[in-house]
Copies of this chain bind each other. A is one copy, B any other.
Amino acid sequence: MEVGAERGLECQKIMDGKSSDNDVDKAIPVCCLKARAAVPESDAKCHSTVVSGWFSEPRSFSDNVSKQLYYNNPMWPGEAHSIKVEKILFQEKSLYQEVLVFESSNYGKVLVLDGIVQLTEKDECAYQEMIVHLPLCSIESPKNVLVVGGGDGGVLREISRHSSVEHIDICEIDNMVIDVSKKFFPELALGFEDPRVNLHVGDAVEFLRNAPEGKYDAIIVDSSDPVGPAQELVEKPFFETIARALRPGGVLCNMAESMWLHTHLIEDMISICREIFKGSVHYAWTNVPTYPSGVIGFVICSTAGPLVDFLNPINPIEKIEGAVEHQRELRFYNSEVHTAAFALPSFLKREVSCLRDSVTKGVLAS
């Protein structure tokens, strides 16, 4: 690793432009810091998920306190991703879930709901930018957009790059997530400052049931994993209300788990969506290091109506004036990454049979 040993903190600066005020850090990039391993760790012990200063997701320990964690993380047994905790900043139980914020040593601040990492400052860009621009760049001049979940504000921040948008509804069930984001994640919560945003704190299923038919050009479902409060959000009646609330040729982008870990869930979602969305249904994925298996996928659909060519965005972000730099520069998404997100590994096409043909045809035709 001597190659990089005299350089600055390049890789840490990528995401946030910050550099540590620790002298050792300034001299040596953190990813080369053999020496750093010798520095003793402070034991942050004020939260049950913190063991010797590390936050650990689904790791199952033999003592009972830590075993609770495993119960909260049924989505990926047999492995764990641990993030080193510098300081616990917030922990409280809301009406719906346990909310935890900590400062990590390498990923910036981290938001955890019910023991599952929702976002880190370092890699949230890969998720927020993709879940928004994949759908919004695929249609001409989106005007009315609905966000389901997304209480941290990151999705709103990304939608606000689109100058054509006139009205943004957001329906988030947990007020505490919004408050916590405003306090600890100002770079995400700034999304709420856009005057086009209308916040509805409440149940999205209920909200959608009452939404006017055909109101939205795009709906973005930024939910947590389908356990706990988000359970209904992967079921058929929910997708039906979404389709109803979309205009003809309107689009849905829905968080859809990991292709390595949850193909049965993906298959379920895709088959439900194929029944309901008569335009097209695709699967796309992106790399988010702090999500299980390092990826997250999206189910992207359009209703019957004007054809939506998701793979070749009609409304490229680079051509929307000011969009790339709006509030802060795009960090992950660009039009090449957009098209690439639809290229699916062979095992996924084999496993999720309904993905096999349409996507291949689409990409090859692009």
Q: Residues on A close to B: CB < 8 A? A: 1-4, 7, 10-11, 13-15, 29-34, 36-37, 40-41, 43, 52, 54, 56, 59-62, 67, 70-71, 74-84, 104-107, 122-123, 125-126, 226-227, 231, 234-235, 258, 260-265, 267-268, 285, 287-289, 291-295, 329-337, 339-348, 350-351, 360, 363-364
Q: Are B227 and A37 in contact (CB under 8 A)?
A: no
Identify which of B67, B71, B123, B343 contacts A260 (C-beta below 8 A). Answer: B123
Residue numbers in B under 8 Å from A336 (CB-CB): 342-344, 360, 363-364
Q: Are B331 and A337 in contact (CB under 8 A)?
A: no
Q: Are B54 and A59 in contact (CB under 8 A)?
A: yes
Q: Are B31 and A76 in contact (CB under 8 A)?
A: yes
Q: Are A82 and B83 in contact (CB under 8 A)?
A: no
CA distance A34 to B69 in the complex (A): 11
CA distance A32 to B268 in the complex (A): 14
Q: List 7 A-B contacts (CB under 8 A).
A: A1-B75, A4-B264, A31-B264, A34-B71, A56-B82, A333-B346, A337-B346
Q: Are B62 and A41 in contact (CB under 8 A)?
A: yes
CA distance A82 to B57 in the complex (A): 10
Identify which of B36, B40, B341 contacts A77 (C-beta below 8 A). Answer: B36
Identify which of B62, B79, B340 contacts A106 (C-beta below 8 A). Answer: B79
CA distance A33 to B335 in the complex (A): 38
Q: Are A347 and B125 in contact (CB under 8 A)?
A: yes
Q: Are B226 and A3 in contact (CB under 8 A)?
A: yes
CA distance A76 to B262 in the complex (A): 26
